[in-house]
């Protein structure tokens, strides 16, 4: 599958959209904020050319959820120059 190319802002917005629309954990994690992508070496990063450093504003108990959402976006998007 070919990945979509998007800026950091677009990828962050997609992560946020998926967080807000998820009913996982009975919707308890909908207020989590999306992390900001940055470039990474795709060879060292499982084929994805971006990563995140922190998950800001993650509700206690929602970190695994936020990581899973971010990984799903990593499978769909490559980061491009803004």
CA atoms within a 13 Å half-sphere pointing along the CA-CB vector of 51: 10
> Mean pLDDT of all residues in the chain?
94
pLDDT given for residue 27 in this prediction: 87
Residue 82 has pLDDT above 70, yes or no: no
Q: Which two tokens stand for residue 70?
A: 């971010």
Count of domains for the chain: 1
Distance (Å, whole) CA 29 – CA 65: 8
pLDDT tens for 28-65 read: 999 999 999 999 999 999 999 999 999 998 988 999 99
Domain span holding position 38: 4-79
pLDDT at 30: 92
DSSP string, 5-57: EE-HHHHHHHHHHHHHH--GGGGTTTTPPPPPPEE--TTTTTT-SEE-S--TT
């Amino acid at each position: 599958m070919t990945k979509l190319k998007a800026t950091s802002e677009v990828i962050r917005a997609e992560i946020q959209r998926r967080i807000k629309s998820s009913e996982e954990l009975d919707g308890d994690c909908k207020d989590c904020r999306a992390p900001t992508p940055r470039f990474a070496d795709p060879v060292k990063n499982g084929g994805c050319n971006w990563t995140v450093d922190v998950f800001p504003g993650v509700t206690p108990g929602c970190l695994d959820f936020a990581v899973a959402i971010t990984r799903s976006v990593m499978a769909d998007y490559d980061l491009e120059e803004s």
